[in-house]
Structure 1
Amino acid sequence: MTLDECFELGFIVKPHGLKGQLVTQLDVDDAATYDKLKTVYLALPAAPARLTAYQVERVNPQGGLRVLLKLRGIERIEEAEPLRGGKLWLPLSELPKLEGTQFYFHDVIGFQVIDATEGPLGVVENFYELPQQDVLAMRYKGQEVLLPVVDELVSHADMAARQLFVNMPEGLLDIYLNPGAHKNPNAD
């Protein structure tokens, strides 16, 4: 299993108790979707690209997106401590099915971006998960353009046509094409 075949489920916050349980923070919409995990893949901070499979013995919800995780073979705090900060991964095939026009970011990489006003703009190159919000990155007239991923701006995807429909804010493309023309007069 490689990272390209997986999605990040969350990370290990710290050991819990003396018998090898782990406090984990999930990076998902609903932690209950994963309460029957059988296997997780773990990448430690010292080797972030190397995945090791672990059988899951128990998942105990702790509220919100925190869960206590018990992995087979991790029986003592001394065995759990080195896992602190490790990232938990699952195969892409285990992602929950989405409804309607929802999509996963990895599903629309390479899709044509279609603006409601301007028409075809460019191709989705990447998504960045920033602390404030996720942003879509596309190439437009040789420039990388970032668009916040919010319902008002990213409308829907047509999976069959490989198109992502957006509503670009007025003037956003100009800012990327002519960055010097939009200086803040109060910045000096």
Structure 2
Amino acid sequence: MNPNQFFLIGYISKKHGYKGNVVLYIDTDHPSYYHSIKNIWIKQNGVNTPFIIENIKKLKEDQLVLSLKNIDLEKCDRLIKKEVYIPTSKVPELDENQFFNRDVIDFKIYNSKKEFIGSIEEIIEIPNNTIIQTTVEGKEVLIPFNEKTLIKINKKKKEITIDIPEGLIELYTNG
């Protein structure tokens, strides 16, 4: 499969028990979407390798205990901290106002006054905070991005309108 045909859902965080089970940490906005997956792909040596899930148990909302076919206690050590993917065809459809962060890269950013600010270069996820990275007047600018700051998203036009705190852009550009 082509790498563009995969969607990153999380990573194998640790072993679980003594039978070779592993814990999948689901690092998405809606972890419950993935509680009944049948197959996963784990990136090993730069290649996504398919694994069949024989048994799945919910540990926490964002953590599943997986029993993978042909993986025993010895083999599961090699999977720890590896990224886990599913085919993009298995990713649930989102509502008009929902999106995956990767889908808004290159969207044009407008402030609440409908003034063009820049384009989304990267979405940075840190605990309890999401930040948009853009460039304004040749300088990197980081903008808070959450339900309170998001005003509107237009997927067709690839535009996003954000309530940017007063004076934030100037902090980056007037230095």
User: How far apart are 1:4 and its partner, in Å?
Assistant: 4.0
**Aligned 1:117-132 pairs, distance under 5 A:** 117=113, 119-132=115-128
Q: Which residue of 1 aligns with 2:112?
A: 116
User: How far apart are 1:29 and its partner, in Å?
Assistant: 3.3
1:157 paired with 2:146, answer no
Q: Which residue of 1 aligns with 2:64?
A: 67
Q: Which residue of 2 aligns with 1:51?
A: 48
Which one-letter code corresponds to 1:11 in the other structure?
A: Y
CA contact (8 A) 1:102 1:156 kept: no
**Whole-angstrom CA distance in 2 between matches of 1:7 and 1:89:** 5
**Whole-angstrom CA distance in 1 between matches of 2:85 and 2:77:** 19
Q: Which residue of 2 aligns with 1:40?
A: 40
**Whole-angstrom CA distance in 1 between matches of 2:31 and 2:114:** 39
What residue ranges of structure 1 are gaps of 5+ in the alignment?
180-188
User: How far apart are 1:7 and its partner, in Å?
Assistant: 2.7
1:26 paired with 2:26, answer yes
Q: 1:122 to 1:170 in 2, by over 3 A?
A: same
What residue ranges of structure 2 are gaps of 5+ in the alignment?
none
1:85 paired with 2:84, answer no
- Kindly name which structure, 1 or 2, has the bigger radius of gyration based on alpha carbons: 1
**Whole-angstrom CA distance in 2 between matches of 1:141 and 1:2:** 36
**Whole-angstrom CA distance in 2 between matches of 1:158 and 1:30:** 21
Sequence identity percentage: 26
CA contact (8 A) 2:41 2:49 kept: yes
User: What's the secondary structure of 1:62's corresponding residue?
Assistant: strand
**Whole-angstrom CA distance in 2 between matches of 1:50 and 1:156:** 37
* RMSD between superposed Cα atoms in Å: 1.9
Q: 1:115 to 1:9 in 2, by over 3 A?
A: same
TM-score between the two structures when normalised by the length of structure 1? 0.83
User: How far apart are 1:42 and its partner, in Å?
Assistant: 0.6
User: How far apart are 1:156 and its partner, in Å?
Assistant: 2.3
